[in-house]
Amino acid sequence: MSNITNQSLSEILESIKLKKISSLELTQAYIKNIENAKKLNSFVTTTFDQALENAKKFDNKPNNEQLLSGIPLAVKDLFCTENVKTTAGSNILNNFIPSYESTVTKNLWNNGAFLLGKLNCDEFAMGSSNETSFFGNVINPIGDQLVPGGSSGGSSSALAADLTPATIGTDTGGSIRQPASFTGTVGLKPTYGLCSRWGIVAFASSLDQAGPMTKTVNDCSIMLEAMSGFDEKDSTSINKKKEIYSKNLKDNIKGLKIGIPKEYRVDNMPKEIDELWEKGKKILKDLGAQLIDISLPHTKYALPTYYIVAPAEASSNLARYDGVRYGYRSEKGKDLIEMYENTRSEGFGDEVKRRILIGTYVLSSGYYDAYYLKAQKVRQLIKKDFDDSFTKVDAILTPSTPSSAFKIGEKTNDPVSMYLNDIFTVPVNLAGLPALSLPAGLDKKGYPLGLQLIGKALDEQKILNIGYAFEKNCGYKNEIKKWWS
Amino acid sequence: MSLDKEKIKHVAKLARISVDEAKVDSLTKDLNSIFKFIEQLNELNTDKVEPLTSILNQSLRSRKDEISDGKIREKILKNSPKKNEEFFVVPKVVE
């Protein structure tokens, strides 16, 4: 089967189950693709020997009862993997080999999958274009010199280029949904607390959430089911019965109420984003959903709030990188303090340093009330906007991003213009809600555009169902020419 | 308000990050544009709003005070950039 790797995860699972292909053949096919795609720079580390070993083990004693039987998976390099280097895209962790496995990846392996490699990402997940990684830019398979989005840019690039059948990312302000939108793939940010944060390199702990990135909505439901679940080791993990998202996936959305927030039509938004939104509304309406105009009045304050809360949490989370217990250490400096300062200066990249400084400043004595406390209050207002709307609607439909993928270097000189990429995704993180980005069309340059479905807390099944129905009726298909191999 | 170079150097000191003198100007420019953006929040009156400290409707769990691991000294020391037998080594602190 020469084209196995361009199939969806669920199709591949079926082929494995029916023994049309062995796990070893499947793994070899992905390894070949990865070796031919070095130009994309989506991998930081590959674990081919280990993957081949695991594939053989599966083939010798196949267990097809699991959600991810015999499936090789590459994951974002923010998830700690036991005995496999975990860098978070940073020089400061360039030599870090965890002695433990993150809960989310362990859940995947317990469901029959195994590791194929670690995917490039923005440094400490701080970025929207994968340009802040210590390991270099990642290329979007959609076009040479295009960014794959970020921070889960290695994940979106590898998925769209058929280098992994599905993957996982993390989303603090849009880092799953924006790259999914830029590459014509599906990305889900789950409800805060649904997937364990244990063993994930921390960025902003009240916002960080891991989630699946896949080619189809069905695949997304399978991955979410495999990775989610209560974890004692994460104090913010939600203790609830595990859901069977894949079995419960259905495409009947008749009578559901879909909110359309007027604040998501921003100034200077390209006409094609507006047209895409209209197209999305029509598809859902034709499927029997009811469209309802709603207002989320504090939307424009979400990004400024985010740029206080996230750097504040990051500055305290990243205080641990001191060059003493693990990670990079500078040889320069005459005493302990200078060793710290040089280690952190040489180990962190510019964007990470910028955010640590913002965070340190907004938390510093005399400024805390004016910035951090203010942001926490506005965050309350943003959450209340959603709470109010969800008394009237089942889900909310918006564009995923204000533009399609841009060129490498296009926005690096202006941090604020880079931050504006996340204007539609950030409010969801502040409110802790689930949101699904779906590929929905192309702009006039032929680059993918996505639409976002936002759900109530823990209502993943509903947005997956709406997404499933949408996907069947949208007719979007990624047609990527493999120009890189 | 605007951040001047001295303030930025002070914050960098608090954050234990040495800042290259040559980069202070561009850093000042970037941080000021970010703070200008952030300060849009001042348009909002939030006097009567409670700050949101946790997004979850649950209080933090406590666990039993039981030892669940241990005897992992080697694992903990494994990634240390400099060690001496069972100790992390740092530059001299006390003369």
Does A260 score more than 70 pLDDT?
Answer: yes
Asked if A212 and A164 touch (Cβ cutoff 8 Å), the reply is no
A151 catalytically annotated = yes
Asked if A327 and A92 touch (Cβ cutoff 8 Å), the reply is yes
| Whether the predicted interface score ipTM is above 0.90 | yes
Does A215 score more than 90 pLDDT?
Answer: yes
Which residues in chain B are contacts of A97 at CB distance < 8 A? Answer: 78-79
For residue A485, what pLDDT band results from cuts at 50, 70 and 90?
A: confident
Mean pLDDT on A95-116: 98
- Half-sphere exposure for A190 (CA within 13 Å, toward CB): 30
A76 catalytically annotated = yes
Q: What is the 8-class DSSP label of residue A416? A: H
Residue identified by tokens 């740029």 is A307
Beta-bridge mates of residue A186: A214
High-pLDDT (> 90) share of chain A, %: 96
Q: What's the CA gap between A421 and A125, in Å, rounded?
A: 14
Instruction: State whether B78 and A97 contact (CB < 8 Å).
Output: yes
Mean pLDDT on B36-51: 96
Mean pLDDT on B62-81: 91
Q: What's the CA gap between A213 and A337, in Å, rounded?
A: 42
How confident is the model at residue A1, as a pLDDT? 44
Which residues in chain B are contacts of A354 at CB distance < 8 A? Answer: 27, 30-31, 34
Decide: helix, strand or coil at residue B95: coil
Q: Search chain A and give the residue with CA nearest B61.
A: A235
Instruction: State whether B17 and A336 contact (CB < 8 Å).
Output: no
Instruction: State whether B55 and A431 contact (CB < 8 Å).
Output: yes
Of A8, A23, A42, A76, the active-site residue reads A76
Asked if A86 and A201 touch (Cβ cutoff 8 Å), the reply is yes
What angle, 0 to 180 degrees and rounded to 10, lies between the N-to-C axes of helices A9-17 and A217-227?
A: 70
Share the mean pLDDT of chain A: 96
Please state the domain extents for chain B: 5-43
Q: What's the CA gap between A188 and A224, in Å, rounded?
A: 8
Q: What are the percentages of helix, strand and coil residues in chain A, rounded to 5? A: 40, 15, 45
How confident is the model at residue B1, as a pLDDT? 56
Q: What's the CA gap between A51 and A74, in Å, rounded?
A: 10
Q: Considering CB atoms only, which of B20, B34, B80 is closest to A358?
A: B34
Asked if A40 and A139 touch (Cβ cutoff 8 Å), the reply is yes
Q: Considering CB atoms only, which of B44, B51, B75 is closest to A376?
A: B51
Q: Considering CB atoms only, which of B41, B78, B81 is closest to A329?
A: B81
Does B57 score more than 80 pLDDT?
Answer: no
Higher pLDDT, A3 or A21: A21
Mean pLDDT on A345-371: 96
Pairing of strands B87-88, A210-214: unpaired
Instruction: State whether A335 and B91 contact (CB < 8 Å).
Output: yes
Nearest of A74, A100, A98, A78 to residue A87 by alpha carbon: A78
Of A128, A151, A221, A437, the active-site residue reads A151
Mean pLDDT on A80-92: 98
Does B76 score more than 70 pLDDT?
Answer: yes
Q: What is the 8-class DSSP label of residue A452? A: E
Q: What's the CA gap between B70 and A146, in Å, rounded?
A: 48
Query: A284-339, pLDDT tens digit by residue?
Result: 999 999 999 999 999 999 999 999 999 999 999 999 999 999 999 999 999 999 99
Nearest of A405, A341, A485, A470 to residue A145 by alpha carbon: A405
Instruction: State whether B52 and A374 contact (CB < 8 Å).
Output: no
Q: Which domain holds residue A185?
A: 1-485
Which residues in chain B are contacts of A194 at CB distance < 8 A? Answer: none
Query: A398-431 burial, b if ≥16 CB within 10 A, otherwise e?
Result: bbbbbbbbbebebbbeebeebbbbbbbbbbbbbb
Asked if A251 and A474 touch (Cβ cutoff 8 Å), the reply is no
- Half-sphere exposure for B40 (CA within 13 Å, toward CB): 16
Decide: helix, strand or coil at residue A217: helix
> What totals of helices (H) and strands (E) does chain B contain, helices first?
3, 2
Q: Search chain A and give the residue with CA nearest B3.
A: A361
Asked if A98 and A82 touch (Cβ cutoff 8 Å), the reply is yes
Q: Which two tokens stand for residue A160?
A: 């769209």
How confident is the model at residue A2, as a pLDDT? 52
Does A267 score more than 90 pLDDT?
Answer: no
Asked if A33 and A74 touch (Cβ cutoff 8 Å), the reply is no
Does A88 score more than 50 pLDDT?
Answer: yes
Q: Which two tokens stand for residue A387?
A: 């709470």
Of A175, A196, A246, A315, the active-site residue reads A175
Q: What is the 8-class DSSP label of residue A440? A: E
Instruction: State whether B79 and A325 contact (CB < 8 Å).
Output: yes
Asked if A78 and A168 touch (Cβ cutoff 8 Å), the reply is no
Higher pLDDT, A416 or A441: A441
Asked if A92 and A325 touch (Cβ cutoff 8 Å), the reply is no
Mean pLDDT on A376-401: 98
The CATH number of whichever domain residue A163 belongs to comes to 3.90.1300.10
Mean pLDDT on A86-90: 98
Which of B21, B41, B58, B62 is the best substitution to test chain A (most A C-beta atoms within 10 A)?
B41
Q: What's the CA gap between A153 and A119, in Å, rounded?
A: 8
Instruction: State whether A344 and B3 contact (CB < 8 Å).
Output: no
